[in-house]
A and B are shown apart, each in its own frame.
Chain A
Amino acid sequence: MVSVPSPSHGAHSATPAEQPPTPVKLVIAGGFGVGKTTAVGSISDIRPLTTEAAITEVAAGVDDLTHTPGKSTTTVAMDFGCLTIDPTLKLYLFGTPGQDRFGFMWDDLVEGALGGLVIVDTRRLDDCYAAVDYFEHKNIPFAVAVNAFDGEVGDDLDEVRWTLDISEHVPLIVFDARRTGSVRDALLVVLDVALSRAEAAAAT
């Protein structure tokens, strides 16, 4: 096995035609049909792309990620898009698969992410427990966004927060996955969490 140096420029030190941008990523999580792909498509520079990715699925839930019985790897479709911030910085948005009540582990996808947005459909709150748990366990900056289908939110936000057992410090917002500005603002909430956390870390 050849290990890949970081960054590697190939054995012949050939100069690539273009210097690639620094890639950063946000993860969009949530249950099946909750609007992940719609949200990605609303803000992406490109139509959302799909790739097949292998994720490790945990049949027993994610209460204890360090002792996970019954792990199995499954292949799922993952939708993603991107946003060119400037020629040297490109933001990727990965809609993570995990569309059922099984727990799931996306270490592979989430490693190095700036943060995560958990999209919630108030009619099916169960579908997003796993994602909320995951980000909390992994200590990844995240926010929870209720997708306002048809402009309506079934429950009030306090009730959603209580039902999902979301900590006080986790932002909970309402947004519309179909609207660019709304998705932009939701992602900015996530990045605010990430920035304050990074600032606090830098101050110590």
Chain B
Amino acid sequence: MAVGGPAPHDAAGEAEGSAEPAGRARSIRPFLLTAGRVSGRGTAPPIPIETQVVSTSTGLSVLRTLTFEHHDIIAACRRPQSVAELAAQLRLHLNVVRVLAEDLCAAGHLAVHRPNAGTAQDLSVLRRVIDGLRAVPESRGTLRDSG
């Protein structure tokens, strides 16, 4: 039973300017949760980090029967969010979340919306992002003190 893939040491101490305790991942061996599996080992490439995931009504209906991380993911994904946000919120290693999301998707509990490959070259998308950014004000005021 080889535990494949990255064996994450607790390297979080290098985090740039992120003293907030919220950011720290748990230091238990994260890939125990996935029985040693890592994302993207099969035919499909790993889910991109911005991939949106959202619980299905099936997933929510069986929420009480789910345990541990499966439960936490389905509960957290009542609203759509990216796998990166999900990992940060649950303080799980990103690649652990990817594996668990694929499992939950296969079980019908989670919808995984892989981004379209061509989006980055899509002129209308680029123009909308540019227009959206232009609308950002000069200052955000009270949002936060400083990074």
Contacts and interface: CB of A to CB of B under 8 A. Distances in A.
Contact of A77 (B11, B107, B116): B11
Contact of B59 (A10, A19, A51, A91): A10
Nearest to B52: A20
Contacts of A7: 111-114
A86 B105 contact: no
A83 interface: yes
B87 A52 contact: yes
Contacts of A157: none
Given A24-B119, A112-B117, A86 B51 contact: no
Measured as residues with beta carbon below 8 angstroms from the partner, the interface class of chain A is 35 or more
B115 A112 contact: yes
Q: Interface residues of A: mostly helix, strand, loop or mixed?
A: mixed
B11 A3 contact: no
Interface of B: 5-6, 8-9, 11-12, 14-18, 20, 22-25, 30, 41-59, 78-82, 84-85, 87-89, 93-95, 102-103, 105-117, 119-123, 125-134, 136-140, 144, 146-147
Interface of A: 1-4, 6-12, 14-25, 32-33, 35-43, 47-54, 73-80, 82-83, 85-86, 89, 91-92, 94-95, 97, 99, 108-109, 111-114, 177-181, 184, 187-188, 191-192, 194-195, 198-199, 201-202
